[in-house]
Amino acid sequence: MRTEKLQRPRLPMEVPSAANQYWSMEVVADQLSNGRRFSVLHVVDDYLREMVGQLVLTFISGQPVARFLDNWPAVAACHR
C-alpha cells in the first residue's frame, strides 16, 4: 500500500536586488582522457549570474567543502 506524499504549497523564490545577496552552488563531475575523475564545485552569484567561487578536487567530500565555505568571506570580498 502506498502512502500519500505530503503536499506543500510552493513558495516563490526571492529575486536578488543586488550582487552578493544570494549564491547558488552546484557540483559537476567529469573524467579526463586518461580515465582520472575530478569534481568541481561552482558558486554562482544569482544577481550577476557569474561564477564567484570554484573548488576543484579529484573527490569532493564534506570536509573540503566546509573548509572552502568557511573561507568564503575572504573569497567573496574579492568580488565586491
Picking from 61, 24, 30, the residue whose alpha carbon sits closest to that of residue 43 is 24
Check pLDDT > 60 for residue 79: no
Cα four-point dihedral sign 63, 44, 53, 27: positive
Task: Report helix, strand and coil shares of the chain as percent, to nearest 5.
Answer: 20, 30, 50
Check pLDDT > 70 for residue 76: no
What is the structure's pLDDT at 80? 55
Are 25 and 42 in contact by the 8 Å Cβ rule? The answer is yes
For the chain, which residues make up each domain, given as ranges?
24-77
**Is 0.75 topped by the overall pTM?**
no
CA distance 33 to 9: 45
